[in-house]
A and B are shown apart, each in its own frame.
Chain A
């Protein structure tokens, strides 16, 4: 039954405290829309400035990670400009008085270890060390293979006042599934 399917999906998400959820091909247009809607929702909830900027910032960093790095993508180079759509999942919600932002996408197997090491390292740093790493990375310029400044995860760690967790699991021969959850 259609109703059963849809309501069970809805109930499942509501039970987890989810207020925004997206699964599919993430684009900059979607990111803009999500960002504007989220801003209104945070205003409605009267979240304090630090919390609402934190949630907003993490949503943007995570979306851009999907848009730039998800290994699950559909590309057409014959269009101008070339179309490159990348698949991922993202959710924003509230549980136990905290906000959370979760995301997940496929990552190429050869990148998994570096990603995991990088995140474990960041997880072990306090605010002072995170800021130092942030500055040093900007000073050195974008790392090889980065499409931004290379400080996205550090930014997430700085904004996630209650920390973050991540998991990596085998998905298929070429890819692993990467999941990240930040608590604010």
Chain B
């Protein structure tokens, strides 16, 4: 599967999906005009990968600064796919990064993290350089 690398902008997230290594990251700002148009192509590939994985290891890093409510649905569905992948015997770790002092992003991480049953979830506080 071809790796995906998309540069972030002031409204679209940076995406780095390395299928070979099983390492994925998404972060930055996310308020695309149409979430389906932006996310569907990358999420579909990811879901295909996750659903065919056997005995694999997946690390998913999330470091949003801001995402809008339409993106929240994408994140929810993503967590669902990751947890299903973990339930079928793969090792899945989700890392959620938030900037120090950003309570909303911290709470958001806690809330989404609660949705995971089989995947490992870790919250990480980061400090601006």
> Taking beta carbons and an 8 Å cutoff, which residues of A are in contact with B?
28, 31-32, 35-36, 48-50, 53-54, 56-57, 60-61, 64, 131, 134-135, 138-139, 141-142, 148-149, 151-152, 154-155, 159
Closest to B9 in A: A32
Q: Does B104 sit at the interface, judged by CB under 8 A? A: yes
- Within the complex, what minimum Cβ distance (angstroms) separates B104 from chain A? 6
- Within the complex, what minimum Cβ distance (angstroms) separates B69 from chain A? 4
Contact A149–B73 (Cβ < 8 Å): yes
Q: Determine which residue in A28, A60, A139, A159 has the highest number of CB atoms from chain B within 10 A of its CB, and name it.
A: A60
Name the one of B33, B35, B69 contacting A151, with C-beta atoms under 8 angstroms. B69
Q: Does B102 sit at the interface, judged by CB under 8 A? A: yes
Q: A35-B31, A151-B69 are in contact. List 18 more A-B contacts (CB 8 A).
A: A28-B33, A32-B11, A35-B11, A36-B10, A53-B102, A60-B31, A60-B68, A61-B68, A64-B70, A131-B111, A135-B111, A135-B115, A138-B72, A139-B76, A141-B73, A142-B73, A148-B35, A149-B72
Given A57-B68, A64-B68, A131-B111, A49 contacting B73 (CB threshold 8 A) = no
Contact A50–B69 (Cβ < 8 Å): no
A-contact 0/1 string along B68-94, CB 8 Å cutoff = 111011001000000000000000000
Q: Does B2 sit at the interface, judged by CB under 8 A? A: no
- Kindly list the 4 A-B residue pairs having the minimum CB-CB distance in the complex, ordered from nearest: A149-B73, A148-B70, A138-B76, A28-B33
